Amino acid sequence: MKSDTIISVSHISKIYRSEEMETIALDDISFTIEKGEFVAIMGPSGSGKSTLMHILGALDLPTSGEYILDGKKVSELSDDDLADIRNQKIGFIFQAFNLLPRTTTMENVMLPMVYASIPKADREARAKKYLEMVGLGHRLHHTSNQISGGQQQRVAIARGLAMNPAILLADEPTGNIASNQAEEIMGIFQHLNDEGHTVVMITHEPDIAAHAKRTIHVRDGKVVSDEKNKRQHRAKYEQVEQ
Ligand code: ADP
Ligand code: MG
């Protein structure tokens, strides 16, 4: 394994078992991702994308196979180590947002920083900065249930960015967003990637995948293609006032 490999999955499979049945969600998946890559993962609904993303985010373990995250075997890490890695190293943007209800956008974005014991003034400044970055500077004190689905998605994006993570994992980050806003979000992702952050993004939209530098296609839990994008579609990035 090269020293700049940040993600290495080797022959991973994931089988969900219940009393009645067995679902093979991932079937012998192998790839590596280097530091500073921007990878899109594409595939039809039910192909295993979210399952894969949860494993990459160390939120779940594969049934078999090995996952090495930044040089460490994830299966051998303690729960405390895993919690630290998830908090410090990985920004996770969930498909279902996972925002706290009846909690303001600011508080939602500050939550990972609370876990990281970042001082309050700092937390507030950073939460405000990232909420402005995603176009929600006018909704800092609205609660999750007082904003639209697209706005909730943008809060989830701000929260994923708040810890300035080395790896950003995003599951359909533009799924609920109008196309002009999706383009802005891609501008933010590309800006982070230009600064050296590794970005892994699930999408089923070819227009969105075109913003990445590489695309991995999955189908029925298997990798069916893994190619460099011939041309990266660049989105505009405008630095917000702080
Ligand atoms: P995608 O994100 O590509 O739509 P998922 O990773 O969510 O796909 O799901 C892959 C397959 O695994 C699907 O067939 C889905 O029904 C199944 N699956 C996902 N989560 C579970 C679970 N917790 N228990 C049983 N089956 C599951
Ligand atoms: Mg999914």
pLDDT in tens, 214-223: 999 999 999 9
Q: What percent of the chain has pLDDT over 70?
A: 97
Contacts from 80-87 at CB under 8 Å and sequence distance 24+?
82/58, 85/58, 86/57, 86/58, 86/59, 87/112, 87/115, 87/116, 87/163
pLDDT of residue 13: 98
Tokens of 199: 């970005």
Q: Is the CB of 46 under 6 A from ligand 1?
A: yes
| 54 CA: nearest ligand 1 atom | 6
Q: Is 54 in the pocket of ligand 1 (CB under 6 A)?
A: no
118 C-alpha vs ligand 1 centroid, how far in Å?
35
Mean pLDDT value across the chain: 93
Nearest protein CA to atom 15 of ligand 1, as residue = 46
Element (H, E) at 153: helix 149-161
**pLDDT class for 178, splitting at 50, 70, 90?**
confident
- Residue 115 and residue 84: Cα distance in Å, rounded? 9
pLDDT band (50, 70, 90) for residue 239: low
Q: How remote is the CA of residue 95 from the centroid of ligand 2, in Å? A: 7
| Closest ligand to the CA of 45 | 1
Mean pLDDT on 6-23: 96
Given a cut of 70, is residue 233 above it in pLDDT? yes
* 38-47 average pLDDT score: 96
pLDDT score at 1: 58
Query: Does any ligand 1 atom lie closer than 6 A to the CB of residue 16?
Result: yes
Calculate what percentage of the chain has a pLDDT beyond 90: 87
How far, in Å, is the centroid of ligand 1 from the Cα of 46?
6
Which ligand is closest to the CA of 13, given by its number?
A: 1
Confidence of residue 176 (pLDDT cuts 50, 70, 90): confident
**Biggest alpha carbon distance in the chain?**
55
Tens digits of per-residue pLDDT, 73-96? 999 999 999 999 999 999 999 888
The secondary structure of residue 76, as a DSSP letter, is: G
Closest-approaching ligand to the CA atom of 220: 1
**Taking 80 as the threshold, does the pLDDT of residue 2 lie above it?**
no
Does ligand 1 have an atom closer than 6 angstroms to the CB of 51? yes
Q: Is the CB of 50 under 6 A from ligand 1?
A: yes
> Of the ligands numbered here, which is closest to the C-alpha atom of 54?
1
- Alpha-carbon distance of 203 to 170, in angstroms, equals 9
**What would the mean pLDDT of 227-234 be, rounded to a whole number?**
95
What is the pLDDT, as a whole number, of residue 96?
Answer: 86
What average pLDDT does this structure show over 170-174?
Answer: 94
- Residues 130-171: tens digit of each pLDDT: 999 888 999 999 999 999 988 999 999 999 999 999 999 999
Q: With a 6 A CB cut-off, is 44 part of the ligand 1 pocket?
A: no
Predicted pLDDT of residue 181: 84
